[in-house]
Amino acid sequence: MTIRINDILDEVSAYIPEADKRIIEKAYVFSARVHQGQTRLSGEPYLTHPLEVAYMAAKMHLDVEAVTAALLHDAIEDSLTTVDDIKAAFGADVAAIVDGLTKISKIAFMSKEQQQAENFRKMILAVSKDLRILLIKLADRIHNMRTLEFHNRAAQQRIAKETLDIYAPIANRLGMHWMQIELEDLGLKYTDPEGYATVKDKLDAAAKLKEGYLKDIMGAIEAELAKHGLNAEVYGRVKHVYSVYMKLKRQGIPFEAVYDILGIRVILESVAACYEVLGIIHSLWKPIQPRIKDFIAMPKANMYQSLHTTIFGPGGELIEFQIRTREMDRIANEGIAAHWRYKDGSKLDERDGKKFSWLRQLLEWQKEVHDPHEFLESVKIDLYPEEVYVFTPKGDVFRFPTGATPLDFAYNIHTELGHQCTGAKVNGQIVPLKYKLKTGDVVEIMRSSKQHPSKDWLRIAKTSRATAKIKAWLRTQELQQSTALGREILEKKLKSLHIRKDIDFDQLARDFALKDAGELFGAIGFGRLSVHQVVHKIAPEAPKEAEEHKTAERKKKGEGSGIIVKGEENLLVRFARCCRPIPGDEIVGYITRGRGITVHRRNCTYVEEEDPHRLVPVEWEREPQEVHEIEFSVLCQDKPGMLGSITAILGEQRINITKLKAHSLASGSSVCVFRVSVKSLAELEALFAKVRRLSGVERIERLQAS
Ligand code: MN
């Protein structure tokens, strides 16, 4: 039958009696004008296509906007019409749907690899922010598949494969069984015409052969149900061609070995009746144990619910029964579309709190919204919240964990590109390295030969591939710098001791069981070998400084660092600014490339992330002389004089404040952050104890930069 606009209007009136149908009529006129003169390959006017798609949308009981958008779905693609034109004429809602559909149609399925197919499927789901886009897209594909015979062989193959790879699985995921079956069977028909015909013929023959047999069984069960006063609908079903085809292929079995080609479906009014009927069937025929499946108690991810049991029928034939309520049957067929279409008052059975997938989540949202239209509007599909899908400028799709950045993208393409990545252009706009990629982004990496990885990158990159590459680069770099540092330390030491002989460093290295001079310098730079040991080897007569005073003597601005580095004396010592250690804190040293040793507090979160091989034990000198800056925050009541009382205590203790920040919170408290100079942990703790005693102080804590 040829669909006319009145068929669509009648259909919509049936489930939305109060619908304003003028907008649909207007879309019809608009579409007719846009597609005027265009024909389908079948020779029919192009307009037949949007009419068919809109009719399917109405059959799915979608809202007026969706049906309108279905009529307009090819308008932008096939003409000079713009999204703004659609928006002006039909509103933002309809325009957004048409825009989404146009975008999907522009996604080029470049790669035919299986992996890519999965990515494309997920991406289509992800970019279809509105379920209506997805449903209309599927309807569009169904009609295109129904009319595929008019295409040439190559186009048929391509479109049919895409249907099997991309669209049929989406229909399956959405639980839209009727669409899945049609897309799969049509897809198979064009990708493997012979295989399709063979299985179809066998299925038809089997159905014909067993027609009478099935009728007898159905009669028997109907009679038994009537005895129990159960109201049921009983009918036979045949598996669809594609599912049998795949089963034969996957399991490598002959057609005759497929036991569930024919089956019987029993539709009942209540869940209790379903279990009762299962019992009745098992009392009539012997069930095959492992074939009893309770998808009512444990629904499939796409919300499919049913009881399945396979029994030995008369003559030893295997028959599968599917037992379910009317509502379950509807959902099994229509899937997600069943959940918002016009309600007939029946409610879903929501008793089980088992882990459902996203579909369950959709149902949750639906409960909060009563108007189906509102539901659709509010639904933003986020099927894969843990993943993002982005494009290269060429149209390849990459998948990343959520939070991934241009760095991950760059390293995913090439290690060198990662190392030199300075940022990216996302959808034509320049973004920084730390930009978080979003699904649908088109990403173009910007690079510079002057760029190189840094430690911060480990916080920006999200994928293990990128972090591994960055770490490897940093390690190599640190090795080089440690070598340079070691060389410098040794040369300075020799100079200070006025040792000026020609030294064969390679030979010297071998004396320490090291390979060459490079390794020797590296060992010194890393702190694995003390410069003193080396000097001693060169000039045994030189004074054994290490024995004289173990203190780190390296001067920093003329002051002692107050740190003892075990077995080492000639390294630059600095205090980490992240945790600002003070004498009394438990500390650890970290050999920093090119900068000697950095002292952290032992519990500093930065240290935990560091390479443990670079950590060296350090101690505080016994007599702390120097002051160290630390930061702490005080949470206190926001009242006059509060800040004064705190600073007064600092004054009493002779503790210098180098920085002070205070701000009020909405809760009526205020937060003050102090940076002060203290000599030791003991001094700091004494200060804290005093401040804590002040009335109005709620909390005081030492800060660590994050
Ligand atoms: Mn179309």
Mean pLDDT, residues 185-207 taken together: 94
What pLDDT shows up at residue 46?
92
Which is more confidently placed, 571 or 642? 642
- Given a cut of 80, whether residue 543 has pLDDT beyond it is no
β-sheet bridge partners, residue 629 = 677
Which is more confidently placed, 111 or 287? 287
Q: Report d(CA 639, CA 698) in Å as an integer.
A: 13
What pLDDT shows up at residue 348?
31
Q: Where are the beta strands (DSSP E) in 488-608?
A: 563-565, 573-575, 587-592, 596-601
Q: Is the Cβ–Cβ distance between 284 and 269 less than 8 Å? A: no
Q: Report d(CA 534, CA 530) in Å as an integer.
A: 7
- Given a cut of 70, whether residue 554 has pLDDT beyond it is no
Q: Report d(CA 58, CA 47) in Å as an integer.
A: 17
What pLDDT shows up at residue 276?
94
Alpha helix (H) residue ranges in 549-680: 605-609, 642-652
Label residue 51 by pLDDT band (50, 70, 90): very high
Q: Report d(CA 472, CA 498) in Å as an integer.
A: 39
- Given a cut of 90, whether residue 185 has pLDDT beyond it is yes
Distance from the CA of 104 to the center of ligand 1, in angstroms?
11
Query: Range with the lowest mean pLDDT among 167-176, 261-270, 372-381, 671-680?
Result: 372-381
Distance from the CA of 419 to the center of ligand 1, in angstroms?
44
What pLDDT shows up at residue 382?
40
For residue 433, report the phi and psi dihedrals to the nearest 5 degrees.
-55, -35
Distance from the CA of 418 to the center of ligand 1, in angstroms?
41
Distance from the CA of 74 to the center of ligand 1, in angstroms?
5
For residue 73, report the phi and psi dihedrals to the nearest 5 degrees.
-60, -25
- Given a cut of 50, whether residue 347 has pLDDT beyond it is no
What pLDDT shows up at residue 380?
34
What pLDDT shows up at residue 558?
31
3-state secondary structure of 59: helix
Cα–Cα nearest to 596, from 690, 492, 466 = 492
Distance from the CA of 55 to the center of ligand 1, in angstroms?
13
Q: Is the Cβ–Cβ distance between 615 and 590 less than 8 Å? A: yes
Q: H or E element: which one contains 639?
A: none
**What are the tens digits of pLDDT across the range 483-533?**
888 888 888 888 878 877 778 888 888 888 888 888 888 888 777 787 888
3-state secondary structure of 684: helix
Q: H or E element: which one contains 558?
A: none
Distance from the CA of 330 to the center of ligand 1, in angstroms?
27
What's the token pair of residue 17?
């009696």
Residue 410 gets the label, from left (phi > 0), alpha (psi -120 to 50) or beta, of alpha
- Given a cut of 90, whether residue 266 has pLDDT beyond it is yes
Cα–Cα nearest to 627, from 569, 587, 581 = 581
Output the average pLDDT for the chain: 81
N residues, the chain: 706
Query: For the chain, what percent of residues have pLDDT higher than 90?
Result: 31
What pLDDT shows up at residue 116?
59
Query: Range with the lowest mean pLDDT among 79-93, 110-124, 147-161?
Result: 110-124
Q: Is the Cβ–Cβ distance between 177 and 333 less than 8 Å? A: yes
Distance from the CA of 49 to the center of ligand 1, in angstroms?
7
Q: Report d(CA 669, CA 678) in Å as an integer.
A: 27
Q: H or E element: which one contains 351?
A: none
Label residue 129 by pLDDT band (50, 70, 90): low
**What are the tens digits of pLDDT across the range 371-428?**
433 333 333 334 445 677 787 877 677 888 889 999 999 999 999 999 999 999 988 8
Distance from the CA of 195 to the center of ligand 1, in angstroms?
28
Label residue 544 by pLDDT band (50, 70, 90): low
β-sheet bridge partners, residue 591 = 597
Q: Which residues are catalytic?
A: 77-78
What pLDDT shows up at residue 368?
43
What's the token pair of residue 288?
């095959």
Query: Beta 262-268 vs 318-325: how paired, if at all?
Result: parallel
Distance from the CA of 45 to the center of ligand 1, in angstroms?
13
**What are the tens digits of pLDDT across the range 17-47?**
888 889 999 999 999 999 988 888 888 899 9
Distance from the CA of 140 to the center of ligand 1, in angstroms?
5
C-alpha distance from residue 646 to each of 28, 37, 305, 655, 691 (Å): 76, 84, 67, 11, 6
**What are the tens digits of pLDDT across the range 630-665?**
999 999 888 888 888 888 898 888 888 888 888 888
Distance from the CA of 37 to the center of ligand 1, in angstroms?
16
Query: According to the 3-state scheme, what is the secondary structure of 102-130?
Result: HHHHHCCCCCCCHHHHHHHHHHHHHHCCC
Q: Is the Cβ–Cβ distance between 286 and 258 less than 8 Å? A: no
Neighbours of ion ligand 1 (CB under 5 A): 74, 140
Interior angle at CA 336, CA 342 and CA 308, nearest 5: 110
Cα–Cα nearest to 325, from 236, 231, 238, 262 = 231
Distance from the CA of 56 to the center of ligand 1, in angstroms?
12
**What are the tens digits of pLDDT across the range 577-627?**
888 888 888 888 887 765 678 888 888 877 777 777 677 778 887 666 778
Query: For the chain, what percent of residues have pLDDT higher than 70?
Result: 84
Q: Report d(CA 322, CA 539) in Å as an integer.
A: 92
For residue 555, what is the DSSP state? -
